[in-house]
Structure 1
Amino acid sequence: MDTMSVNVATFRSATSVAGARDNARYFLEGLVPAIAAEAADTVVLVVSELVTNALRHGGGTCTLDLTAHPDSIEVSVHDPSPQAPRMRTPDLNGGTGGFGWPMVNRLARATAVTRQAAGGKTVSARLTR
């Protein structure tokens, strides 16, 4: 299989997170060879977390790109904020989060944050196919 990449969509609101998950599932369903169900669920979970974080902390809009490599799936989310995600202690009582970025780092083979010359950043996670 050659590398397959798609710019999935630009999202502007928290309700778009469900759309990001749906678009990711659609992308994954089209892969040949097919991706295992558990691996697909992991990709969709990472998409959900990265898009949620970008909308919440990255300026209210983001773009999702998905790339299928022979042995991995790359999830990239671009947003206008230069601020990199950070590890923090999860809030078990106040509901302010802190679970997403650590979870993405545990699920992914590798993560990267790249600042863009034009402003903003791209947060990427590479997951086992």
Structure 2
Amino acid sequence: METMSVDIATDHPPGTIAWARDRARSFLDGLVPTLTSEATDTVVLVVSELVTNALRHGGGTCVLGLAARPDSIEVAVHDPSLHAPRMRTPDLDGGTGGFGWPVVNRLATATSVTSRAFGGKTVSASLPR
């Protein structure tokens, strides 16, 4: 199993969502056997949504973890907040979001939210390889 973990903070120059997407794409591009471009794009979209949610709602810092298993890719984002993501009606006019968690749940074969022993939570999504 191949894994990658990177710290992401909004006050750190590479700590942007685009940077997280680039790191994820680099990890995925190095896998053997390679993923289809559609599978890669799907994983990168889920990374983008989970990191965005963590930075916006989870305290401004997070750790992105990726793991490649024989049949799946696991995306895990750890943040200091105790509040789990929730489904809500997307805001079509005010720009406050509400689209990310439904998108992640639609694309993933499984999602989970677990509390961490030392505080915070981990939001995970499993995607087909």
TM-score (ref. length: structure 2): 0.95
- What are structure 1's unaligned runs of at least 5 residues? none
1:64 aligns with 2:76: no
The CA deviation at 1:25 is 0.4
Q: Distance in 2 between matches of 1:116 and 1:109?
A: 22
**Residue 125 of structure 2 aligns to which amino acid in structure 1?**
A
Q: Distance in 1 between matches of 2:88 and 2:63?
A: 24
DSSP 3-state at the match of 1:34: coil
- Which residue among 8, 11, 17 is the counterpart of 1:11? 8
The CA deviation at 1:4 is 1.1
**Residue 25 of structure 1 aligns to which amino acid in structure 2?**
R
Count of aligned pairs between the two proteins: 126
The CA deviation at 1:6 is 1.5
The CA deviation at 1:13 is 1.3
Give the share of equivalent positions with the same residue, in percent. 69
1:87-114 Cα deviation digits (max 9, x unpaired): 0000011110000000000000000000
Runs of 4+ aligned residues of structure 1 deviating over 2 Å after TM superposition are: none
DSSP 3-state at the match of 1:62: strand
DSSP 3-state at the match of 2:126: strand
TM-score (ref. length: structure 1): 0.95
DSSP 3-state at the match of 1:49: helix
Q: Distance in 2 between matches of 1:38 and 1:13?
A: 28
Matches within 5 A, 1:15-94: 16-94=16-94
The CA deviation at 1:5 is 1.2
The CA deviation at 1:81 is 0.3
1:54-85 Cα deviation digits (max 9, x unpaired): 00000000000000000100000000001000
